[in-house]
Amino acid sequence: MPDTTRPAGFSLEDAVLDIGGDIGALILYTDAGYDQREIELSPIDEAEHRHGPGTAQEHEHGYEHEHEHGHEHRVHTAIHERRSGGQVTYAGIYPELKAGTYRIWIDDPSLPDRVTIIGGEVAELDWRRGRRG
C-alpha cells in the first residue's frame, strides 16, 4: 500500500548510491528556480588539467571547441524537490561517478562549475543563494 501521508517530492533519505572503489557520487543542492532543470557534467580531460581553467587556449577556442575534444561523455540529472528531516530542498543526485574532476555545464559564472569526486565518497555542492562560500 502506498505511503499516503508522505508529502509530494523525493526524499534524500531514500536515495540509493552505488559507490566504492573508484566510484563516488554527487549531490548538487540548488534553489527552487532549478526545479526540473537538467544539469550536465562531464569529466575534465588531462589536457584541460595541464592548461588549467581560464587559459588563453580556452578563451581562444571556447567551450564548444572543448566539448568536441573529450567532453562527449556528459551525464545529466534533473533537479527535483526532495524532503529530508521534514525540510524541503532542491537537489540533483549523480549516483555513480568515476573518481576525478568534473565540469558542471552551467552558464552562470557566479556558480561553481567544478567538482572533484573521490571514490567511495559523496561530494556535496551547494548552489543555494546565501549558502555559497
Average pLDDT of the chain, as a whole number: 77
Per-residue pLDDT of the chain in tens (133 residues, 90 and over written 9): 344 444 455 555 567 788 999 999 999 999 999 999 999 999 997 445 444 444 433 333 333 334 444 445 899 999 999 887 788 999 999 999 999 999 999 989 999 999 999 999 999 999 998 665 4
pLDDT at 85: 77
Phi, psi angle pair for 35, to nearest 5°: -50, 130
Contact call for residues 127 and 29 (beta carbons, < 8 A): yes
Contact call for residues 124 and 27 (beta carbons, < 8 A): yes
Neighbours of 4 (CB within 10 A): 5
Give the residue carrying C-alpha cell 567532453: 71
